[in-house]
Structures are given as structure tokens and as C-alpha cells.
A and B are shown apart, each in its own frame.
Chain A
Amino acid sequence: MTIDSVRGAPGTPGVAEPELIQLLTPEGERVEHPDYPLDLSAEEIKALYRDLVIVRKIDLEAVALTRQGELGIWASLLGQEAAQIGSGRALGAHDMVFPTYREHAVAWCRNVEPLKLLGLFRGVNHGGWDPAEHGFHLYTIVIGSQTLHATGYAMGVQRDGVLGTPSAGATIAYFGDGATSQGDVNEAFVFASVFNAPIVFFCQNNQWAISEPLERQSRIPLYKRAQGYGFPGLRVDGNDVFACLAVTRKALENARTGQGPTLVEAYTYRMGAHTTTDDPTRYRLKAEEEAWKLKDPIERVKAYLVRNDLADAGFFEGVEDEAKGLAKELRAACLALPDPRPLSIFEHVYAEPHPLMTEEQEQFAAYLASFEDEGVAS
């Protein structure tokens, strides 16, 4: 190989790992960070634990539903629960979220019924919730597009003149490590920077973009990119729900008070396949997955709760049972989702009547009816 494509690649032996903001070690030990004091009650910590367990269970159920052919595909969040619950629970009522297709746990925090997430993956709709109702925009599959929408939304909030007031809302855009290569994402950084938009760019660096490792996207740690655009960037342990909560809280508050954008790189790992159609054994080593297993985002919270005598076996069992129950309900509701009616194809395309489309719709309706006339089910 004559092309020097590995020079300075992140993770290269001998190159120091950049500072990772961490408040809870993988062993479940609480550590302090001067910039991110966090004071959580036992109840708050237990609530975070409950969230983590539930979203993992829901995710596993969706994977199972896909294996059984009930969903067409599923993008699992396995391993990224802390990044999503931590940041999701930092959100306030006025904040607005622009997710990718993997933010199931953030959706959970925004009270989007898990069933609603399944519609897209089962193929009964393309989204199906009202973004304004939940402060949670539709999933975006085209990589990076939503970062510009988020930036524009934040520019709108800015123009409303509410920043610094109690009704100020920050905007948070989720995206992956792969997405950082897209023009749209880089343009979002530029717009957010020059307009000082009230936005948090929340990048879940799960180390992979399908089969491509981070080195295919960047030679410097992603959070360092922010500096070049002119706003702060930081890297947080994405498997540490405390740190993700604290860091996102602060970044959101900065946005709400008119201090502009922040890039948060949540350093985490996609424990599962990219989606249920992907086969990671083709491109990554089991050993890497094993190493990340030791940094599990849920185990460390459990260890902390146990070590500090904040929860007993009954609590853990209760959460487990609740999660199982929710997963079961989700399964039943998924199976009960009706297939769309054929003529629903023509719904919600335009706000006002569209003669050509109406004509097509009428023709198609007549065509379908012709089968019924023949006594053939259509």
C-alpha cells in the first residue's frame, strides 16, 4: 500500500486518547468533574436506570419482531442507551429534537409511544407522529439532512426573541460519526456558528458507519472539529448516563441563554449490527465488541445503585418486569397495526386539492373496484 491513509488515525497506538468527560466509571464509581457538577437524588438515578432498561428491552423486542418478519428492518440502539437517555432527560419542555433513525430512547424521553416508532420500520407509514406535539421531529434517514433543519429551527427560536427567557427552547440535532462527512452537516455547523444559533449538535460516535470505521471519516477526534467552525466542542463518555446528562444540560442551557452552539461528541459503541440486515462479522472483530461490553451503560448504573445501597433486588426485578411487560404490549400492538389501505397512498401529499392526483386516485379506486365487481378480493 503506497497511500498513507492511516497516518494519525484516531486510536493509533501511541496517540493519546483525548479527554473524555466521565462522571461514572464502567465499574460504577462516581467521579467528579470540575465543570460538570451533578447532584442526583436516589430516585432520579433509579429513574434513569429504569429508562435505560426499558429502552433496551423495547429495542430488543423490535429486533425480535424484525427477525420474525413483523418489521422490515430495525436500527438497534444497543450500547447507545446512556448517550440517548442522558441527553434526552436533559431536555426541557420547550426544547426541540431532530433525530436520525436510531434515537428510540430520545423518543422515549419525549413521550413518543414506542409503537409509533414501529410504523416506519414495519412499513405502514413514513413517520406518523406530530413533531410539534412531542418536541421531537420525524426520523431522518438521509444522512445529515436534519442537522440543517435543526439549525434553521434554532434560528427561528432566536428570531422569536425568547432566548434568555423561561420560554426559551434549545434545539438539539442528533447524528452519527459517519454523518460528520456530509456536506449538510458541515453547512449546518457553518450556519449555526455565524448566526450563533441556539443549538446543540449531539454526535453519537458509535465508531462505525455501517462497515466503515471512524478513520474513514476523520483523522482528528470529532469534537475537535467544532473549533474550526468557531464554537465549543467536547467529548463525553457516551456510555455514562450521568455525564451525558450533565454535559447536555449545560450545552442546552448555553443555547437557551443565547451563548450559541455546542458540539457534543458522545463516545460510544454500536453493539449490534448497523441494522437487522447487516452482518458485522464481515468487517469488525469480536474482540472489539467484547472490550466495549465491559463499558456497558446499564451495568455501571446498576453497580452504582448496589454499591451505594440505593436499590434492592426488588427494585431491579420490578424494573425488569415492567420492561418485559412493555415489550409484550409493544409486540401485541405491532401485530395489530393495520396495513395501510391502498388509497391511503394519495393521502397527505398536498394541503389543497391537486387535480391530477385526484384524477389518478379516482382511476385507481375504479380499477380496484373492478376486481370487487368480479368477486375477486383486492
Chain B
Amino acid sequence: MTASGTALSLSGLTKRFGGLVAVDDVTIDLESRKLNAIIGPNGAGKTTLFNLITGEIAADSGRVTFQGRDIVNRKPHEIVRSGISRTLQIKSVFGGLTVGDNVRAAVLAHERIMTPFRPVSSYRAVAARSNDLIEEVGLSDHRGALASSLSYGDVALLEMALALAAQPKLLLLDEPVCGMGPQETERTVAMITGISRHTDVILIEHDMEVVFDIADFIMVMAQGGILATGTAAEIASDAKVQEAYLGSPEDD
């Protein structure tokens, strides 16, 4: 594992929706080997920032540099293949497929296996890796269940397995514990810190307790821009941050 470098570097990244500047000239270097978190009130532009990084929304201007290359506005599947995986704020899996097929599809896509005539079941290595991933996220008991039959927390875990199947160098997590009960939250937080030991993680999270507990570095967004950056202690005592949060009472 390399010593610290840059996990991701954003420069002048901007996205407008009509008159609204959802992401406003964001420039930042996020360090590798740290658990980076992005917080900010609802509508601050956090999810849009992820959408720009993963190529799902075209940026109006700016650069996204990952591993020395500008990846801005490349296609989502190409960006995944370059090593950035993500989970979505609204958990997103293949509902009509079994847990096993969900993960196998992701492993096959990562291995770029698209053969037309050999059964999926005959790929031993794929099956083994899928099983490992399912075990890693703790869904072994649900391997044969349809993804649509899982509880919300289990869907989030499955989504995590899909993201990890691509063996990402950078993992973007959008509110991973949102909607989870205390036990699920604890398990998921432990998993995220575990992953962050070998993979760069950028975490959007609403739960301040979680963020202050696990994040090494926090970036606060408001109205599309960066309001503050620093460690948990620095952010907690930042007057601008407190103002931003008090100023948006609907934020939970």
C-alpha cells in the first residue's frame, strides 16, 4: 500500500441546473488513506458532486483528477472500470434478481466477461468471489433470496457488495446508514472503517455522530460550495458551520 497521496482531486467543478448552481466552483484535494467525509444541509450539492465524479451528470466546467488522469465527463461504466465505485442515496440494486445473481453480475462486469453461450454457473472463480463478497457484507443467509425481498438495511449491504465487486480504489458512499436501525448502523459503520483501511473512501453522511466518530477529514458543503474543511474537532467548533446548520431547520 502506497503512503499518502491524493485520492481524488477536484478543480473548479461546477454544475448548474437552470438558475441554480448545485455545485459551485469546487476545488479540493482529498488525501488518500484517510476516511474523507462530506457533510452539509439538504440541497447543499453533495449528491450532485458524486454524480459529477461518477460521470452520471455532465459537468459544466472543471476537472476531476483520479490517479493522474482527468476523468470528468467520461462515461459512468468507464469511470467504474478506472476504479471508482459508489453507492446511491436511494439504495439501488437489481430487485428482480437473487442476491447471488446481483453479485455475480457485478463480478462478471468487473472481469469483463460477456460470453453468450457458457452458463454463468460454470464460472467457478466468479462464484467463489461472489460468495466471498456476500459473506463480507454478511448476506450469506440470503444468497437465494430476491433482492426485492430484502429489508432496507440488507439492500444497502447488497449495494455495498456490488460496489466492492469492482475492486475499487476509491469508494463513494452516499448516506450509507440513512434509514438503518441502531444495530444495522453499527455493523455498517464497522464495515466502512474496515474498508477504509485498504480503500480510499469518501462518505456523505447526515448522521453527525457517525461522521465525527469515524471521519479523518471533513468537508462541509453549503449552497454548492465548500464552507469549511478540517478534522472533526475543527469542524465542530467552526462558527460558519454552526450557522449553516442552524440556518436550515428542516435538515435532520
Are the chains A and B members of one assembly? no
